Structure 1
Amino acid sequence: MKRFFSICVSLFILGIIYWKIDFPQLLQVLQNSNVWWLVISLSMVVPLTLLTSWRLQQLMPIDKRLGFGEAIRLILAASVLNMVLPSKMGDIAKAFFMKERGQISSSLSLSLVVFEKACDLLSLLLWCVFGLLFYSQQNWLFWVMTASVSLGLFFGVMLLASQQFAQVFFDVGKFILPKLSSKLAKLQSSWGQMHNYFWRDRTHLLLIVTTSIFIWFLHLLQIWFFIFAINAWTPFLANLALSPLAILAGLLPLTFAGVGTRDAALIVFYQPYFNAPTAAALGLLCTSRYIIPAIAGLPFLGQYLTMLQTIRNGKQSIRY
């Protein structure tokens, strides 16, 4: 029901966007796209998937690591599940499959996925803050967003860097949100295990963090290439500021895969550089960043769903 509601919200927002803008001009922008830049930008999905899969390998204990091909299949299958399940549950499913394939504990596999997603979010915030500091068209709204993103980055880094800070943060969260206390307690336990696992080898931690920062640099570079593909222009530092803000808008738990909120944010934030139909075309290309890996993951999804069903049947047999 929640997924159906999010799809309806996405369609509603897109309906307003396409009703307000010059739709024939949007089609013209797409038709006049630069084919070579389109191919280059879309093909960046390949190195991004390979790098993300390699990072997933590095997250796991050396003696329990997945093969590189298995890591790729798992990343792509999770991309499919993230498209159809609410709240990025594909990543939670990824933790389950990591546990089964790598023979690691449930808490450790969840900790690895939590750390992976935390690195992704903090890397995105880092590039956003960097871009906003050099953004030339600052106004009061952008100063507020700069302060908010910087504060989020600070809290995120402190959560990863200090176990004491993390404990206080989760304790305060459980006090303020008593209905979520059980979920926060599980996350707090996983967070503590994640701290113990990664901080014992700081060289390994530095490798994961720098890889995550580089991965998100490539993500934002891909969006900049999308702008070239639609024959538009934005300074690179401005793109580092604006594209993360649009991605963050797409993370709001209101729409299907960020469709609608991300498109509206692109139209608003890129207004100084190109018109609304061009920004809407950019929104379609940004959505393809999620659709292409999901399509590529469809052939592997059945394998993991079959494995899940086999495990469930095995557990039921043990109960009987």
Structure 2
Amino acid sequence: MVQKKFPFIKKFLPIIGLFLFIYTIYQLDLSKITTAFFSVNPLYILIIIPFTLPRILIRNYAWKIIQEEQNIHVPYWTSLKIFLIGYFYGSITPGYLGQLMRIPYLKEYTGQPYGKLFINSSIETIVHTFSMYIMILFGAFLVLSEFPELFMIAAGWMIILLIVLFFFVRRKRGEWFFKIIIKYLIPKNFKSYFYQFVETFYQEFPRVSSLFFPMFIGFFTWIIIFSQEYLLVYALDLCIPYHYFLFLFPLANLAAFIPITFAGFGTREFTAVILFTTLFAIPGEEIFVVSLLGFILTDLFTGFVGFLVSLQEARKQGTTLRKLRNQLIKLR
């Protein structure tokens, strides 16, 4: 019964984010949103965009460290192109899941097993996101007196995440879990493919100690992206201290990881408006513009660069769909 209902429910998940987006606008004043949007000095936009370059260079460097730890040897600039292509797909899919499109490109270049490349891409995302969780914990501490439950929720979530990660770090436990899933949940015709996929998950699995430096580097990428968005706060003359925005806006960004709309469209804006209008005497319309325009100038702009890179790669080696089809044929 549940399996039959889920595909039906899944069709309507993207509507949730759109509903939240429309609902947020409905609760605000559309004319004030428009006024705030056009009151942003274009000079600030010209300042924001160039900071995308160091952000993606630093994050790709962190990913390269994890690649080398797993003996996945890809030149830095090739890795950057693959990263940008994955970013493009991530920016147009729910929960940024499209980032996994890095895998077929890595496979094409390295010839490494899909399972190993899946783990590499997943670990990079987890490590990068975990650095944001630490920032959220600091943010929750800043508003401890106003929202005491927020700190407990953030700390509890991090503890649960650490327990889950600790469980899967050990090969025996991880393989046991995935084999149970395959045995009982995967159709018989696909079991062999999934067993083959899972068997390479722990091939040259990175040492936990080797992931601390990439996580540390991740802080700088988050600081850059939230500083880019803070320039919009400054442009609109909103009374939000920089350190509060730096550690609280990640909460709104976290809502974007809920896999219901493309790149968190609607959920981010809804969370940002509630959070900042509650804590600071600022108009909801203006923080709405900060969230939406910030998303356009950071994530969507980076995704657009990735789109251009993907077009260039498509011209060189055929369409992405054809490449994926060929990879699937090889799996057979």
Name the aligned partner's letter for residue 96 of structure 2.
Answer: K
What is aligned with 2:38? 31
Report SS of the residue matched to 1:251: coil
Q: Name the count of aligned residue pairs.
A: 310
| Deviation of the 1:315 alpha carbon | 7.0
Cα distance in 1 for partners of 2:166, 2:132 equals 17
Cα distance in 1 for partners of 2:36, 2:321 equals 44
- Aligned-pair identity in percent equals 16
The structure 2 residue matched to 1:70, chosen from 28, 53, 78, is 78
What is aligned with 1:41? 48
- Relative to structure 1, is the Cα distance of residues 184 and 167 closer, same or farther in structure 2, using a 3 angstrom cutoff? farther
Does the CA-based 8 Å contact 1:65-1:102 persist in structure 2?
yes
Does the CA-based 8 Å contact 2:226-2:246 persist in structure 1?
yes
What is aligned with 1:88? 96
Report SS of the residue matched to 2:260: coil
| Deviation of the 1:169 alpha carbon | 12
Give unpaired runs (5+ residues) of structure 2.
Answer: 1-6
- Relative to structure 1, is the Cα distance of residues 187 and 211 closer, same or farther in structure 2, using a 3 angstrom cutoff? farther
Task: Note if 1:290 corresponds to 2:299.
Answer: yes
Does the CA-based 8 Å contact 2:104-2:324 persist in structure 1?
no
What is aligned with 1:147? 152
Q: Deviations over 1:210-260 (max 9, x none)?
A: 112322232332332231132213123322342111111121122222111
Task: Note if 1:261 corresponds to 2:274.
Answer: no
Please show how residues 74-153 of structure 1 align to structure 2 within 5 Å: 74-135=82-143, 138-139=145-146, 142-153=147-158
Please show how residues 94-243 of structure 1 align to structure 2 within 5 Å: 94-135=102-143, 138-139=145-146, 142-160=147-165, 163=169, 167=173, 171=177, 179=185, 192-193=202-203, 197-199=205-207, 202=209, 204-243=210-249
What is aligned with 1:9? 16
- Relative to structure 1, is the Cα distance of residues 265 and 40 closer, same or farther in structure 2, using a 3 angstrom cutoff? same
Residue range with higher mean Cα deviation, 81-90 or 17-26: 81-90
| Deviation of the 1:113 alpha carbon | 0.9
Name the aligned partner's letter for residue 150 of structure 2.
Answer: M
- Relative to structure 1, is the Cα distance of residues 152 and 307 closer, same or farther in structure 2, using a 3 angstrom cutoff? same
What is aligned with 2:62? 55
Does the CA-based 8 Å contact 2:91-2:303 persist in structure 1?
yes
Cα distance in 1 for partners of 2:327, 2:135 equals 46
Cα distance in 1 for partners of 2:236, 2:194 equals 44
| Deviation of the 1:119 alpha carbon | 0.7
Name the aligned partner's letter for residue 19 of structure 2.
Answer: F
- Relative to structure 1, is the Cα distance of residues 100 and 16 closer, same or farther in structure 2, using a 3 angstrom cutoff? same
Q: CA RMSD in A?
A: 3.7
Give unpaired runs (5+ residues) of structure 1.
Answer: none
Does the CA-based 8 Å contact 1:110-1:190 persist in structure 2?
no
Residue range with higher mean Cα deviation, 35-44 or 227-236: 35-44
- Relative to structure 1, is the Cα distance of residues 308 and 259 closer, same or farther in structure 2, using a 3 angstrom cutoff? closer
Does the CA-based 8 Å contact 2:115-2:201 persist in structure 1?
no
Cα distance in 1 for partners of 2:324, 2:262 equals 30
Q: Deviations over 1:69-112 (max 9, x none)?
A: 22222122112212344453422221221122123222221111
- Relative to structure 1, is the Cα distance of residues 286 and 312 closer, same or farther in structure 2, using a 3 angstrom cutoff? same
Name the aligned partner's letter for residue 56 of structure 1.
Answer: W
Query: What's the TM-score once normalised by structure 2's chain length?
Result: 0.78
- Relative to structure 1, is the Cα distance of residues 69 and 123 closer, same or farther in structure 2, using a 3 angstrom cutoff? same
Query: What's the TM-score once normalised by structure 1's chain length?
Result: 0.81
Does the CA-based 8 Å contact 1:26-1:277 persist in structure 2?
yes
| Deviation of the 1:30 alpha carbon | 1.9
Cα distance in 2 for partners of 1:41, 1:89 equals 26
| Deviation of the 1:209 alpha carbon | 2.1
Does the CA-based 8 Å contact 1:170-1:185 persist in structure 2?
no
- Relative to structure 1, is the Cα distance of residues 157 and 41 closer, same or farther in structure 2, using a 3 angstrom cutoff? farther
Cα distance in 1 for partners of 2:129, 2:106 equals 21
Residue range with higher mean Cα deviation, 85-94 or 258-267: 85-94
Name the aligned partner's letter for residue 242 of structure 2.
Answer: F
